Structure 1
Amino acid sequence: MGLLRIGLTGGIGSGKSTVARAFAARGVPVLDADEIARELVQPGMPAIGSIVAAFGSELLRGGQLDRAALREVVFHDDRKRLQLEGILHPLVYRELALRAAQLSEPYGILCIPLLLETGRRDFVDRLLVVDCPVALQIERVMRRDGSSEDTIRRIIARQASREERVAAADDVILNDGEPAAVECSVERLDAVYRLWARRAR
């Protein structure tokens, strides 16, 4: 058996990056779907041509994709959002699989915000959900991005619900504002995942 894939997911503002950094600090490789998506829309990469063909060359600024303008185009139009996801998601998953296959560590964290929404639960061996109250999600994203509460609520409404994520999870980290509790959870799960990975080999 190769790398044990731990899928890390959670709603916007739940603290996925905080948890991912805690695993990375323990020497665990972290593959981030959002980072890969950003790489895939750089000049010369395959996704940018497909996106321009679908949404128009006006999204280019000096050869670079204007990601903010693209977000604005798809945010208010579900059909266009699904069209963009149809272009990007297969490429992201393919790149995740390629990079995971190159890792030699016992296990890795695959941070995939829309893992459940894309119907790819089977892409990972185990699902780790970062959970927190919706009110705290909204507070964090408003503080981080300056987004309006209405905008954040609309994003949350398009994602799997808190209850759906927790029900699908193999493991849950509650990230409700206690950093020490998150560190403790990561430390415990790191030991468990290493043990399982060794046994699987």
Structure 2
Amino acid sequence: MIIVGLTGGIGSGKTTVAKQFNALGIPVYIADDEAKKLMIRSKIIKRKLIQLFGEQAYINGALNRPFLAKKIFNNASNLEKMNAIVHPKVASHFKRWVNKQKAPYVLKESAILFENNSYINCDYIITVTAPKELRIERLLKRDETSLEKIQAIMNNQWNDDRKTEKSDFVIVNTNLEDTIRQVQLTHNKIVNFIQ
């Protein structure tokens, strides 16, 4: 199975792009969503996160996201330790998911595809970009967040130049109509490559 990685900085519009690929019949694995589910379902992850951050990591069996966010976003060491617990489980879950798919290729959407080195398991990489100001504007509308929190997340991610350098395709997501056109063109190229 051909694996296409889909990445981009926070607020770039990866989800919008993923939905367009999905509309073309391409199965999409949203790594961040699956990681959150595994952090609740997996007893091993739960035990290790409690060992790392203490009992406050979970409240009544539910992941204490605000607590964890405070622990990791301004602490690269804690972020690295948490990723070392969660990412291997996500990787094995993804492999099982891939084996069940019947499309010409699958999409693995991950904001930190490069940062966690999972790009090495992809046949092609698509990076979604948008101007920083637009990304911040989108995030302030979408999330109950602050400029400071957005900046902290952006600081933990590679910049667009670094990502696009290592990518096979770049989709500039500033206008939905144009984004849909770019997705269709990219899809056609990938299908042509694998035939």
Shorter-chain TM-score tier: over 0.9
Distance in 1 between residues matched to 2:151 and 2:65, nearest whole Å: 21
Q: Which residue of 2 aligns with 1:13?
A: 11
Structure 2: runs of 5 or more not aligned = none
Q: Which residue of 1 aligns with 2:40?
A: 42
- In the TM superposition, what whole-angstrom CA distance separates every residue of 1:80-139 from its partner, at most 9, and x where no partner exists? 111111111111122112211221211111101101111232110000000111111111
The TM-score with structure 1 as length reference comes to 0.91
Distance in 1 between residues matched to 2:187 and 2:77, nearest whole Å: 40
Return closer, same or farther for 1:51/1:172 CA change in 2, 3 Å cut-off: same
1:103 aligned to 101, 104, 110, which one?
A: 101
> 1:1-201 maps to which residues of 2 (within 5 A)?
3-176=1-174, 178-197=175-194, 199=195
Q: Which amino acid aligns with 1:183?
A: I
Shift of 1:41: 1.1
Shift of 1:194: 2.1
Distance in 2 between residues matched to 1:174 and 1:90, nearest whole Å: 30
Shift of 1:23: 0.7
- In the TM superposition, what whole-angstrom CA distance separates every residue of 1:33-89 from its partner, at most 9, and x where no partner exists? 011101111145431111112111122211222122211222222221111111111
Shift of 1:191: 1.9
Q: Secondary structure of the residue that 1:42 maps to in structure 2? A: helix
Structure 1: runs of 5 or more not aligned = none
- 8 A Cα contact 1:43 1:64, kept in partner: no
**RMSD, matched Cα:** 1.4
Aligned-residue identity in percent: 28
Distance in 1 between residues matched to 2:156 and 2:14, nearest whole Å: 18
Q: Which amino acid aligns with 2:185?
A: R
Runs of 4+ in 1 over 4 A off after TM superposition: none
Distance in 1 between residues matched to 2:25 and 2:19, nearest whole Å: 10
- 8 A Cα contact 1:33 1:111, kept in partner: yes
The TM-score with structure 2 as length reference comes to 0.94
- 8 A Cα contact 1:138 1:149, kept in partner: yes
Distance in 2 between residues matched to 1:128 and 1:27, nearest whole Å: 17
- In the TM superposition, what whole-angstrom CA distance separates every residue of 1:176-200 from its partner, at most 9, and x where no partner exists? 2x11100001111222222323x2x
Report how many residues are paired: 195
- 8 A Cα contact 1:43 1:63, kept in partner: no
- 8 A Cα contact 1:22 1:186, kept in partner: yes
Distance in 2 between residues matched to 1:138 and 1:102, nearest whole Å: 37
